[in-house]
Amino acid sequence: MASETYHLEVEAGLVPCPAILALIWAEGIRPPTTPSDPPTFLEPLLNAAVIKGEEYVPAEVRQRVRKMLRHGKYKPSGRSKPASEFLLRAALSESFPLVNEPVDVNNAISLESGFPGSIFDADLSGRHLLIRRGLPDENYVFNPSGQMIDLQDLLLVCRKADAGWEPCGNPIKDAMITKISTDTVNIVAVLYAPIDEPVSSVEDWAKRYAVILAEHCGASDSGYQVIVPNNIN
């Protein structure tokens, strides 16, 4: 699949952009199922996290990720902290969630890198996505019980909709409307890295993400693209 099929743009008004973004995709995956045990690529990460403790993801990485998200009304703490921090806590408490194969890949990369990620059913999100900040009074449902998340000032991934760009993901919690299900065939994901992360590092994580997606989910094709904002010299 040519990389031009998948596209992530940064809204012109998002200046300076606080993140380097990786767009990752996989086509023709097997029907997702929930595993009973951690997959082979995840188990050693969980073991290492328990041994190293909180510094499995260094404090300076966690601080840079929070800085990436801190803006206006949004404060990345408490229940609003980045998904990568929730995953680290879950690993340390030996209660790491096993959801389905694609989400488990996303969570493994997020745990190992310390960077939050979003993952979508590409046939629900579309293959052309936009990064922008949340507007006043924007929100969406993020779980089956109907809980909502306030999106104002939060860094968002949006899909094209009849009324314009509709939020479907962020570094905290993704929307229900585009989540992976047993019917998912194609996947697109976004990894959010702090703006001061070396581009080569983001490329390495994106490549690892795409490779594991292909291997673990049985994709017929996968790939990635790193989006470097114009405010980086």
pLDDT for the residue 79 = 86
Please report the pLDDT score of residue 161 as a whole number: 92
Identity of the residue numbered 24 = I
Q: What is the pLDDT of residue 233?
A: 57
Q: How many angstroms separate the CA atoms of 89 and 85, rounded?
A: 6
Task: Give residue-wise pLDDT tens across range 143-164.
Answer: 999 999 999 999 999 999 988 9
Residue 2: per-residue pLDDT = 44
For 3-227, CATH gives 3.50.40.10
| Domain ranges (residues) in the chain | 3-227
What pLDDT, on the 0 to 100 scale, is given for residue 232?
Answer: 67
Local confidence pLDDT in tens for the 233 residues of the chain: 444 599 999 999 999 999 999 999 999 999 999 999 999 999 999 999 999 999 999 999 999 999 999 999 999 988 899 999 999 999 999 999 999 999 999 999 999 999 999 999 999 999 999 999 999 999 999 999 999 999 999 999 999 998 899 999 999 999 999 999 999 999 999 999 999 999 999 999 999 999 999 999 999 999 999 999 987 65
pTM to 2 decimal places: 0.95
Judge whether 168 and 140 are in contact, CB under 8 Å. yes
Evaluate whether 33 touches 182 at the Cβ level (below 8 Å).
yes
Span 83-121, pLDDT tens digits: 999 999 999 999 999 999 999 999 999 999 999 999 999
- Buried b / exposed e across 170-185, counting CB within 10 Å, b at 16+? bbbbbbebbbbeeebb
